[in-house]
Amino acid sequence: MLKRVAILHHPHSEGAAAFARQLEREFTRRDVQVGVSDVWADGVPALIPGSGLVICIGGDGTVLRAARVSCPDSPPLMGINMGRLGFLTDMSPRDFFNHFERVLAGDWRVEERIMVRADVFDGPESPMEYHGLNDIVISRQSPGRPIYVDVRVDHALVAVYRCDGIIVSTPTGSTGYSLSAGGPILSPTEHHLVVTPVSAHLALGRSLVLEQSSEVELRVTSDHGAILSVDGQEDVPVGSGTLVRVRVSEHVTRFARFRDPASFYAELAERLEFQLSSTMSRA
């Protein structure tokens, strides 16, 4: 039986915050300890240890933030969609209450997904370490000013890209920025990283799917600065000559699921069709 749950909600959605308070009352009535917070609040990491479940109320951004702050404990995450597409939030509020007794019993399927780690070597100090569920991106800082990125895989030179950026994506992130840059879609439970250049000029423009054990080295050259982005949410300035090593993280993200894993491709097609229809309707 579930004894403690953390409920994290989108910081700017009144509906998500109200639903979080509703869930808090329901769990409390069933003698479950509850911690509730805006997912970006400073006190969130303190809510994670000891929690048997982390409920994320919002959109995919809420889940991505929750996945990072849940390391290294990595309790199961359950996403409730109060946003738009919801690639990572596969339940509606109604779905949640339809499964409430199973949630209390811990009767769910655990789906484990890899994360990506970046170590940034910028000077003599110890490298800065970052972990993401979707991707690590090195990109230009100034519009119209490409960067040069020396890309090596397992110490072997692949290319020196003159480009807008380089994406190193997990299978989870393969339906995000990497896909929009022409990258492949991977099954979310695969264990490979994907390297995808963004607007590469006179260089190999195709994605590379790596072995699980491979390490990518990215060395940036730019007179106008560059940015390292983690899941599109945390931005770190990167100076010219900085070395970034990227590999599969030692941490994982676990999702609590009720749906059959075989539904992934049908749901993906449905969401992409919805996105395409929404884009055309705004045109």
The domain that holds 33 is classified in CATH as 3.40.50.10330
State whether 119 and 229 are in the same domain. Answer: yes
Which amino acid type is present at position 223?
D
Q: Element (H or E) spanning 95, and its range?
A: helix 93-98
State whether 245 and 148 are in the same domain. Answer: yes
Domain count, the chain: 2
The answer to whether residue 60 is catalytic is yes
Candidate list 31, 42, 60, 90, residue with the active-site label: 60
Q: Does 124 sit behind a cis peptide bond, omega within 30 degrees of 0 on the bond before it?
A: no
Q: Any idea which residue has 């006190």 for tokens?
A: 43
State whether 31 and 100 are in the same domain. Answer: yes
State whether 243 and 159 are in the same domain. Answer: yes
State whether 147 and 96 are in the same domain. Answer: no
Residue 225: the pLDDT is: 83
State whether 16 and 89 are in the same domain. Answer: yes
- Chain segment 69-86, per-residue pLDDT in tens: 999 999 999 999 986 767
State whether 270 and 205 are in the same domain. Answer: no
State whether 12 and 43 are in the same domain. Answer: yes
| Residue stretches of the chain with pLDDT short of 50 | 280
Q: How far is the first Cα of the chain from the last one, in angstroms, to the nearest whole number?
A: 50
- Chain segment 212-221, per-residue pLDDT in tens: 999 999 999 9
Residue 266: the pLDDT is: 77
The CATH number given to whatever domain includes residue 178 is 2.60.200.30
| 8 Å CB contact between 7 and 16 | no
State whether 90 and 162 are in the same domain. Answer: no
State whether 159 and 211 are in the same domain. Answer: yes
Q: Element (H or E) spanning 27, and its range?
A: helix 14-29
- Range(s) of the domain holding residue 262: 4-108+258-282
State whether 57 and 139 are in the same domain. Answer: no
